[in-house]
Amino acid sequence: MSATYDDNNIFAKILRGEIPAFKVYEDDDTLAFMDVMPQSPGHTLVIPKAPSRNLLDADPAVLSKTIPVVQKIAVAAKKAFAADGIQLVQFNEPASGQTVYHLHFHIIPRFEGVALKP
């Protein structure tokens, strides 16, 4: 049985303005902000504002608004940080590495010959 959405998660608190975040993009449906523990310069998170725990319970109509923003931020981050490539990462449930239970996409600039921070 899949777990349900808990609106005490840290990204829900960012969406409600209860804790600060360095926001880089926002529209009616989507927010992008810098990861507080970046794995590389420019590591950005993109989240839908609608509540879903992860990709497994996300509404396709919501995803259809989120994914174009993921692309927009990937293009912008590659340019802004002069990256050689962009890694897109997304985890679903603890077994996969998810630690914050509000759907999010990691946009991680990558540089030739540079490993990610552990």
Which residues of this protein are in contact with ligand 5GP, per CB under 6 A?
A: 10, 21, 33-37, 91, 97-100, 104
Catalytic residue among 43, 102, 104, 106: 104
What is the nearest approach in angstroms of ligand 5GP to the Cβ of residue 49? 15
Partners of 110 in beta bridges: 85
Q: Is 43 a catalytic residue?
A: no
On whether the CB atoms of residues 105 and 88 are closer than 8 A, the answer is: yes
Partners of 87 in beta bridges: 108
- In the complex with ligand 5GP, which residue's Cβ is closer, 34 or 55? 34
Angle at 106 between CA 103 and CA 110, to 5 degrees: 170
- In the complex with ligand 5GP, which residue's Cβ is closer, 11 or 83? 11
Q: How many CB atoms lie within 10 A of CB 115?
A: 9
Distance CA 49, CA 42 (A): 21
- In the complex with ligand 5GP, which residue's Cβ is closer, 53 or 83? 53
Smallest Cα–Cα separation from 45: which of 25, 20, 28? 25
Which residues carry out catalysis? 104
